[in-house]
Amino acid sequence: MAGGRYHHGDLRAALLDSATTALRTRGVDALSLRELARDIGVSHAAPRRHFKDKRALLNALALRGFERLSAELEAAAATEGPFRRRLAAMARAYVHFAVHDAELLELMFVRKHAPDASEELVAGGHQLGASMFAVIADGQRGGDVHAGDPEGIGLAMFAGLHGFASLAVGGMLPDGSVDAALDLLLDELHHGLAPRAINVSR
């Protein structure tokens, strides 16, 4: 095998690894099957054994991103301790991914909502919220989260995290303040999720 840079049977994984790095450093427009083949040392035709065109590559890359982020969120959700600690672990996992792989995250959501998105890709996107919704539901059972639809509450929380990550990626937070600003956001999220006081004056 050219270059000896991957093991037999691992060409698809090697292409996706190389594409992830290229996406992070050069952006989606610079991705091409020919360039990836050159990067990993195989013939320019070799990638077409796994991806018929660039669109197929991007779909696979997006699905892999959803699977990776879902696994990281599930691991964070399994953090031992009170609800607030689990919430913070999930928030930090999402923001870390979003900041470290901003181009990939954008690609994930773009491809998920594309007219030709596969059922597998759409399902991968839906799975992303499952662990977050489960933690919200656990918080409701433990009295840490107010009553309501866990998915609706989780979506509101996700919107806050995603918006925060966008500000961080865009350099719209003061230098060195990402962690401190995230702590403030988590305080506000936890306050907003708390059970609401019942007005007994009526």
Give the chain's domains with CATH numbers. Answer: 1-52 (1.10.10.60), 62-193 (1.10.357.10)
Q: How far apart are CA 170 and CA 64, in angstroms?
A: 24
Quick one: pLDDT at residue 196? 80
**Separation of alpha carbons 35 and 118, rounded Å:** 25
Position 177 scores a pLDDT of 82
Give percent of the chain with pLDDT exceeding 70.
92
Task: Please give the pLDDT value at position 5.
Answer: 53
Positions in the chain short of pLDDT 50: 1-4, 7-8, 199-202
Residue 54 near residue 32, CB atoms below 8 Å: yes
Distance CA 93, CA 96 (A): 5
Nearest to 83 by CA among 145, 128, 37: 145
- pTM for the whole structure: 0.87
149 Cβ contact list (under 8 Å, min separation 6)? none
